[in-house]
Amino acid sequence: MSMDILKNETLDIMIVDDEPANLQILSEILKQRGYKVRPTASGKQALQGAGIEPPDLILLDINMPGMSGYQVCTMLKQDAKLCDIPVIFISALSETMDKVKAFSVGGIDFVTKPFHYEEVQARVETHLKLHLLQMELEKHNKKLEELVLAQVKEISESQMATIFALAKLAESRDDDTGKHQERVQTLCSILCNQMTGKKDFKIWIDGSFIQDMIHASPLHDIGKVAIPDSILLKPGRHTPEEFMIMKTHTTLGAETLRQVRIKYPRNSFINMGVEIAHFHHERWDGTGYPEGLSGGKIPLCARIMAVVDVYDALRAKRCYKEPFSHEESCDIIIKGRGMQFDPGIVDAFGEMQDSFKKVTGEMI
């Protein structure tokens, strides 16, 4: 940075001293160097003026009536808008402890009166240069941080898009509309947000949980990609042997996602995806599959997915069935309260029936 920049009139220096002679002398010195100068006779006026228009640097006397320079500097450093302004103390106090206190309250330098013109000029220019360089560095770091965040966001979104595409591949084989994944994302979001107000769930469901639920929900049936068409698309009832094969989509999907988790063990979205894929066909009464878990032993995300998945499956047309009406679908969900589904989740679902109807009406 060129020193010529420091002589620019846009650089604003506030001088705070109750002695008119000192204000005049310092003002003349700095004006000759091309600075904009603001002489101020008291600490109170200095704080008011800095609050309206923060200066680039402050020259501050210590012994002043009403408010000392130490107090002024302390208050400046407590103000988020003013705390980065460099403060140089100029005082007749020369004891070591006076200087130590000046630095302890936030001063960056100390000039003893009577001062030399050249010394004041040199210290002002040095600290202005450091201050401006620091500001430039902060701007650069902020821009760099924004670029990194943008790149991370782009990478994350591309990864999500790839995973979603794989989930869509599995979905496309047995969903006539091709929008099942989009619907379950929206329905999960609606249900989770409603559940945040319930005492049994609010300690578990926060913004991060909901975001993970939205991103992980399309993975619930990813294991279906390994199920033969003759079973997956069979229009009639499955034989016991076929149903056993059909049920493996839960364990196959979970195992696939576990392989991803090995590489990204702390990724909350993948961890939730494993739980949803594995347990979304478990039942509250313990008669589900693949583990026969019951009640609260079933992960919460899988219990939510169970309600959403069944509702959407009932409402959608499949090769083996016609769509159920919204009212019929709600009746089945409500009748499953405490048997197939978590009672609390069914209650939240009941409160959001109209929203579910709107989503499926627009996307089916």
Q: Half-sphere exposure of residue 347, counting CA atoms within 13 Å on the CB side?
A: 11
What is the length of the chain?
A: 364
Cα 70 to Cα 76: distance, rounded to the nearest angstrom = 10
Cα 97 to Cα 102: distance, rounded to the nearest angstrom = 8
Alpha-carbon distances of 143 from 134, 202, 237, 289, 350, rounded to whole Å? 14, 37, 60, 51, 47
Predicted local distance difference test score (pLDDT) of residue 168: 66
Cβ contact 271:183 at 8 Å: no
Predicted local distance difference test score (pLDDT) of residue 172: 61
Walking along the chain (364 residues) 10 residues at a time, the average pLDDT comes out as 50 93 92 91 94 94 93 95 94 89 94 88 90 86 81 66 66 63 93 93 94 91 88 88 95 91 86 95 97 97 97 84 92 97 97 93 67
All structural domains of the chain:
3-142 (3.40.50.2300), 153-363 (1.10.3210.10)
pTM over 0.75: no
Strands 57-60 and 109-112: unpaired
Structure tokens at 87: 């403060």
Residue 75 burial (CB count, 10 A): 19
Predicted local distance difference test score (pLDDT) of residue 364: 58
